[in-house]
Amino acid sequence: MLPLIVIGIALILTPGSSQESLEVFTSANADFESGELEQAALKYQSLVDNGLISADLFFNLGTTRYRLEKPGEAMLWFRRAQIIEPRAPEIPQNIEFLKTKIGFLEFGESGLAGFLRSLPSGTGRWLGSILLWAGAIAVAAAFSLPSLRPNRSGMVVLGVILGMFGYVALRMNHYEKTQLAPENFATVIASGAKALTAPAPASKTVIDLPPGSEVRIIQASGQWRYVDIPGQLRGWVRAEQIEPVWPVPTPQS
């Protein structure tokens, strides 16, 4: 049985609406405990629709979706909760539980990916810019300042090294934005989803995609999405069969 968080929630709303939202959240928890799962899901979703960003809310909504036999939607909300609270132990426990139940596909994370995720957003961009500017200044100073002429070759070498490290930092930033950012990923929410060789129903199947499977969106074309799939595969998936992990859509957006 999946655990359910019933502790307080962190609100990103106007101050006047915090207490009301907490009351709705508490009421939804009570509905869950009494087995009124549909009612609980509606109340949790109403908070999401009002713009509430909370790991506890997303976690509880994922748990409720699982109890309602919607494992794909459950994984979607667990992944959203993990974005907000990556160190919360309950979230990976539930993800692993679901993986053993339904065997969904998920990207493995290399040491480099883990390191880049641990850095503040934009680190590669500002570090790369600083290093490139420092390298350019070092080279310019070597040729423009007479006092540096005896060490000109050393300054040029320093400038080139700084420039190389700056380029690497910018490439790391590009990799983070295109490969690791949550906005690039989606979760399969439908049963019976398949990745196809072309954006047409009659196309050959690349692979079956169990609910909860993780994909990386490469291209959108009408009602189809071209995606990266774990296992170094690619294919076309119907847009309604997947949902982007981030940002969380609301009726206002």
The single residue listed with the structure tokens 């979706």 is: 65
User: Do 175 and 206 sit in the same domain of this protein?
Assistant: no
Secondary structure (DSSP) of 48-75: HHTT---HHHHHHHHHHHHHTT-HHHHH
One domain for residues 170 and 205: no
Are the beta carbons of 222 and 113 closer than 8 angstroms?
no
- Asked, for residue 249, whether it belongs to a domain, the answer is no
What CATH number has the domain bearing residue 96?
1.25.40.10
Number of structural domains (the chain) is: 3
Question: CA-CA distance, 195 to 207, in Å (whole number)?
Answer: 5
- Answer whether 227's CB lies under 8 Å from 107's CB: no
* 76 lies in the same domain as 132: no
pTM for the full model? 0.76
Q: Kindly state whether residues 97 and 121 are assigned to the same domain.
A: no
Least confident of 27-31, 83-87, 92-96, 175-179: 175-179
Residue among 104, 42, 47, 44 at smallest CA distance from 242: 104
% the chain with pLDDT above 70: 85
Predicted confidence at residue 16, as pLDDT, reads 45
In a domain, 225, yes or no: yes
Interior/surface letters 161-174, b for 16+ CB within 10 angstroms, e for the rest: ebbebbeebbebbe
Residue 153 lies in a domain: yes
Asked if residue 78 and residue 44 are part of one domain, the reply reads yes
**Which of 117, 119, 103, 111 lies closest to 230 in space, CA to CA?**
103
Number of alpha helices (DSSP H) and beta strands (DSSP E) in the chain: 8, 7
87-137 confidence digits (pLDDT tens):
888 888 888 988 988 899 998 766 666 565 566 767 778 888 999 999 899
Min mean pLDDT across 63-67, 109-113, 191-195, 230-234 is at: 109-113
Q: Is 253 inside any structural domain?
A: no
Could you tell me if 148 and 192 lie in one domain? no
Beta strands (DSSP E) in the chain are 185-188, 193-196, 205-209, 214-221, 224-229, 233-238, 242-244
Higher pLDDT, 58 or 5: 58
Q: Which of 39, 69, 102 is the last residue of a domain?
A: 102
Residue 10: partners with Cβ closer than 8 Å, 6 or more residues away:
53, 54, 55, 56
Same domain? 60 vs 98: yes
Structural domain that includes position 236: 183-244
* Within a domain: 199: yes
Which of 50, 79, 102 delimits the end of a domain?
102
User: What distance in Å separates the CA atoms of residue 77 and residue 192, rounded to the nearest whole number?
Assistant: 20
- Residue 197 pLDDT greater than 60, yes or no: yes
Whether pLDDT at 231 is above 60: yes
The phi, psi pair for 233, rounded to 5°, reads -120, 160
35 and 97 belong to one structural domain:
yes
CATH label of the domain that carries residue 210: 2.30.30.40
One domain, residues 196 and 232: yes
Q: Are 62 and 93 in contact (CB under 8 A)?
A: no
Clarify whether residues 48 and 124 are in a common domain.
Answer: no
CB atoms inside a 10 Å sphere around CB 223? 9
Residue 61 inside a domain? The answer is yes
Q: How far apart are CA 86 and CA 61, in angstroms?
A: 17
Statement to judge: residues 124 and 162 lie in one domain: yes
Q: Of the residues 160, 180, 200, which one is the last residue of a structural domain?
A: 180
pLDDT at position 78 over 90: yes
Neighbours of 143 (CB within 10 A): 11
Instruction: Round the average pLDDT of the chain to a whole number and report it.
Output: 85
Residue 228 within any structural domain of the chain: yes
Answer yes or no: is 119 within a domain: yes
